Amino acid sequence: MNRLVCTSDDAATVRERLPPASRAPGGPARVLFVNVGVLGFATTSGNLVHYAALRDDIDAAHFTPRMPRWLRAACAEPPVEIGGWDFQQSRMMLAWGTYMRRFFFGPGAWFPTDRFDVVHVLTQQRAWVVRGLSRLRARGSPAPRTVVNLDATCRGWDSIRTYRRNAPPIDDAVERAILQRADAVACASEWCARGVETVARVPRERVIIHMPCARGIGGGAPAHAPAPRGPSVLPRIIFVGGDWPNKGGADLLRWHQQRWADRAELHVVSGAAPADRACRNVVWHGSVDHAKLVGELLPSMDLFVLPTRWETFLIAAQEAQAAGLPVVTTRTGAVPEVVLDGETGFLCPAPHGAPGDGERAFVAAIERLLDDPALRSRMGAAARAHAQRDLSADVWHNHLLDQLVNLADGRPLRRRPTP
């Protein structure tokens, strides 16, 4: 059940809607979710609200802190790329820690530590508070267990951004101080978990895999079958991405106009794309309602292409595979755990905006699928089966909630869902 869903704008109503000061014997675990309202984390936060509402063994409160202006300024990236040596990651974690103290510690705190059995924080950027909660419990004061949920370590993030160095030592040290104090660390992938276990040195038995899969995929959800198409209709390539430059939209448009403008339609779903009506066989959709995207647009396509520069976990590729589309995208971060190279699509080196090995690999993969309708069909069927079998939001989110209850009850954690 969900007792409370609020943001930092809701001070007047929070205290009267908190869980009771003690957990009843055999009662539901009292869990506070500290959520994120931006980027792909907003999808994960919404999913946690959705699935917690369906559980009788969880008494949940959901809190999404807003970024005040001073915090936004403290966390800002420099206007010129300097390879991460602006210490942006550690600045963000420490600044958020200062801000979050008001909600957990001291007189008038929003969330008294005796009202929850577990605090789940998304992501490590907001999780400096777990150190304070750990110290309280070490002194014998009432304090909840803590879980930090992340999609990449600082060093993992730097590696996919192709910085020519590791994370600055202070970034590693601040992150390690957070993750080692957490009672459990939930990782979006095995790729992320390897960094947590090796760089942050968190024991394996405290690591949970929680793939943040999109709702409506797998777990008995109906697959969106591709719409029937006549043999004379041009194959349709779809691009979906709000960050037009970094998702590789300009690269794909250039390739299409130079090579496939008379052989395939390119459909662009992006509110940031600079729509050029002079381009041949390009359909500019702009921003599209999510339900329409997954229920109507994706099933009417033949091929999903996203030449992204970097990615930690690609939800858009999950949705494309669920619609029966082969995927051509970049081998980066945890994407190989989402798209099975050679089976449900092709993974290529990042193109980086200039002709090279990445561009040649993308062009070859796309041309191979355009030239071979039977291959598109086989890979599309494999993609749909993979999404149904391995990318079920029902399975993965309930697995995470099961582990929160295990933590509250003092039972051992299970790394992955039971097959």
DSSP state of 242: S
Within its chain, how far is the Cα of 333 from the centroid? 11
Burial of 108 (0-12, 13-18, 19+ CB in 10 A): exposed
| 309: Cβ contacts below 8 Å, ≥ 6 apart | 246, 247, 248, 330, 332, 350, 351, 352
Strands (DSSP E) contained in 285-374 are 303-306, 327-330, 345-348
Which of 34, 43, 88, 106 minimizes the C-alpha distance to 66?
A: 34
For 43, other C-beta atoms within 10 Å of its C-beta total 17
Tell me the chain's radius of gyration from C-alpha atoms: 23
Structural contact between residues 184 and 157, judged by C-beta atoms closer than 8 angstroms: no
Instruction: Show the tokens assigned to 64.
Output: 């999404």
What's the rounded Cα separation, in Å, for the pair 13 and 187? 32
Query: What residues does each domain of the chain span?
Result: 2-213+393-409, 236-390
- Taking the C-alpha atoms of residue 365 and residue 348, their distance in angstroms, rounded to an integer, is 8
Query: Which residue, 288, 308, 310, 292, is CA-closest to 300?
Result: 292
Q: End-to-end CA distance of the chain: give it in Å, rounded.
A: 26
Asked if 128 and 96 touch (Cβ cutoff 8 Å), the reply is yes
Handedness of CA 135, 138, 142, 143 (dihedral sign): positive
* pLDDT tens digit at each of 419 positions of the chain: 999 999 988 877 788 889 998 898 999 999 999 999 887 788 899 999 999 999 999 999 999 999 999 998 888 877 766 666 778 888 999 999 999 988 998 778 899 988 999 999 999 999 999 999 999 888 988 899 999 999 999 888 888 876 545 557 888 899 999 999 999 999 999 999 999 999 999 999 999 999 998 887 755 444 545 555 555 589 999 999 988 988 999 999 999 999 999 999 999 999 989 888 899 999 999 999 988 998 999 999 999 999 998 888 888 999 999 999 999 999 999 999 999 999 999 999 988 655 678 899 999 999 999 999 999 999 999 999 999 999 999 999 999 999 999 999 999 999 999 87
Residues 2-213+393-409, CATH architecture: 3-Layer(aba) Sandwich (3.40)
Same fold, 2-213+393-409 and 236-390: yes
3-class DSSP state for residue 273? coil
Q: Is the previous residue joined to 113 through a cis bond, with omega within 30 degrees of 0?
A: no
Q: Where are the beta strands (DSSP E) in 25-114?
A: 29-34, 58-64
**Neighbour tally for 165: CB within 10 Å:** 10
pLDDT score of 165: 52
C-alpha separations of 262 from 46, 257, 278, 326, 367 in Å: 41, 9, 14, 21, 13
Distance, CA of 274 to CA of 376 (rounded, Å):
29
* Residue 131: C-alpha distances to residues 139, 146, 151, 174, 176 (Å): 13, 9, 20, 11, 11
Burial environment of residue 68 by CB neighbours within 10 A (0 to 12, 13 to 18, 19 or more): exposed
Q: How many CB atoms lie within 10 A of CB 250?
A: 14
In the numeric block, which tokens belong to residue 267? 């459909």
Taking alpha carbons only, the member of 173, 51, 45 closest to residue 120 is 45
DSSP class of residue 341?
B
Two tokens, residue 31 = 């869990």
CA 389 to CA 409: how far, in whole Å?
30
* pLDDT given at position 226: 53
Question: Which CATH homologous superfamily contains domain 236-390?
Answer: Glycogen Phosphorylase B; (3.40.50.2000)
76's tokens:
């800002």
